[in-house]
Chain A
């Protein structure tokens, strides 16, 4: 981090007194470290609590233990919540990608009337607040149930349909971003060399936008997996997603068990991020 400011050093030294520059650099790096610490502190504290020996979160701890990680697997709402969340997130990501990838291709590459409007509409689920989204989809699913007689509200299918809606903007954004840097003349070249449209798409376009698709899948999955506000309105009695199970537990009490399930989630997402970073630099797509 220190070298961040060191870059600007020659110019600063040329113009200002040494000491002031040095103090400025320390102040800048100190402020940055403070902000980073502030972001990470809650995660660090939860992780610490997960290893306490006693159940009550009082400090300092009486000792350390791994028993709470076992307790997580005996908690039905955590295990069930995790399975439901994974199932919903995978299905919603696949549906979202299937809809968003062709749409992004058209929006970034073709000129047609209403292009700006379509683009705005695809990003809209990001802008509508989660609570409002939840209430609106809640009443929509009730109306749809009345109209069709099919169960929707509180079902896994209803939850997946709603989650696909929040995957679309992320997938569209990230795929569009990767298309923006892609030269269409490469596709022209493939066509001129006699490749049929589908082959061109499969062998030229898809590999070029692959980083965007991987990033879109990761973000879509994570946004769906972690969604709380919208899902609150759409889950059925006794069947909740993991974030809701954690919220409901915390409304009741905080103890090392809920901390342990949080740590497992942090580890899982951390691993997913590092794995994704091999395909596409996360620092460039966020």
Chain B
């Protein structure tokens, strides 16, 4: 009993500082932000103390803001699906390869993660501009006579976000596939399965925890994208991340900016949980 108590005490000493730091540095700010989002914004007078839900009502009754939310969700869904489709083959090859280049290949996937979204968006700006690599090549080949309008479109933003999030998906899937025993694949082949059928019926279900984790991660990141929509979508292209920044820093409307922050966070959480439950139920049924 005594030993247990002293062990609890020393555990408190070890986790205490970090817990306090994150509690004060994260939970308290979120609480203040929530409180701010219930205040009123009076033009000229800035923020006025109140207890009202009018900022949330304003968001959901204005077609403009609803359109921004729907666009954000749509782009997040599309990019997540593309990430899954493109990421799975690469993750599989990385997980199963036994070449000496494995470390190098994984580093090539990790490196872009460390570089920052603005720099990677810059790469696509080089490609998509009127005189960019893509248009110059297409016009040089005579495929098109006028440069294609790619910059500042939803397509450019989707390509940009997909490339930004793909490494997260690949690394998550790769670590799970590495844990799957190769002999189950061989068993499927021995039973006459084609490679595609083996992937769909054996590998994919076994990799489901990784698929789920990777999907959730890329979806959250896409919902909250900032640099990519700003640089590739242009000043008039709005997604939720840039919208929060505009309201907060440019308009100084803290109550409304706070409300949009919470709407973004809750929308992300609800969609993530819904997807999680849907997939789990499907796979429980499949297992029966």
Contact = CB atoms under 8 A, between A and B. Distances in A.
A12 B191 CA distance: 10
A110 B7 contact: yes
The residue in B102, B103, B115, B129 that gathers the most chain A C-beta atoms within 10 A of its C-beta is B115
A135 interface: yes
A143 B127 contact: no
Interface string A195-237: 0000000000000000000000000001000101100110000
A102 B10 CA distance: 10
A269 interface: yes
Interface residues of B, number: 104
A137 B11 contact: no
A14 B189 contact: yes
Contact of B258 (A60, A135, A226): A135
A18 B196 CA distance: 15
B19 to A, nearest CB: 5
A242 to B, nearest CB: 8
A286 B136 contact: no
B235 to A, nearest CB: 8
B231 A125 contact: no
A130 B30 CA distance: 12
Interface stretch (A2-10, A62-70, A181-189): A2-10
B69 to A, nearest CB: 14
Interface in B108-158: 108-112, 114-127, 129, 131-133, 136-137
Given A103-B17, A139-B33, A165 B26 contact: yes
B64 interface: no
A229 B117 CA distance: 10
Given A28-B89, A103-B17, A136-B29, A258 B226 contact: no
A283 B244 contact: no
Given A129-B220, A229-B241, A282-B110, A35 B122 contact: no
Contacts, number: 319
A118 B25 CA distance: 14
B126 A57 contact: yes
B59 to A, nearest CB: 15
Nearest to A226: B116
B265 A277 contact: no
Nearest to A21: B195
Interface stretch (B50-58, B92-100, B205-213, B280-288): B92-100
Interface string A237-258: 0000001001100110010001
A205 to B, nearest CB: 12
Nearest to B168: A286
B115 A266 contact: yes
Interface in A43-83: 43-46, 48-49, 56-60
Contacts of B186: 8, 11
A88 interface: no
Given A110-B11, A250-B122, A139 B226 contact: no
B29 A137 contact: yes
Contacts of B89: 28, 31-32, 35
Chain A interface residue number, banded? 35 or more
Contact of B268 (A42, A129, A133, A165): A129
A161 interface: yes
Nearest to B116: A226
A162 B114 CA distance: 19
A16 B244 CA distance: 55
Nearest to B102: A283
Given A229-B226, A277-B103, A42 B108 contact: no
Contacts of B98: 3-4, 7
14 contacts: A32-B89, A38-B162, A40-B112, A49-B126, A99-B21, A128-B26, A129-B264, A129-B265, A136-B29, A136-B32, A137-B29, A226-B114, A251-B230, A283-B103
Given A32-B94, A110-B8, A135-B244, 12 more contacts: A5-B96, A24-B194, A29-B93, A42-B120, A43-B111, A46-B119, A106-B10, A110-B14, A121-B23, A132-B33, A132-B224, A228-B116
Closest 4 CB pairs of A and B: A42-B123, A140-B29, A106-B14, A59-B136
Interface of A: 1, 3-5, 7-8, 11-12, 14-16, 20-21, 24, 28-29, 31-32, 34-36, 38-46, 48-49, 56-60, 99-100, 102-103, 105-107, 110, 112-113, 118, 121-122, 124-125, 127-133, 135-140, 143, 161-162, 164-165, 168, 172, 222, 226, 228-229, 232-233, 243, 246-247, 250-251, 254, 258-259, 262, 265-266, 269-270, 273-274, 277, 281-283, 286
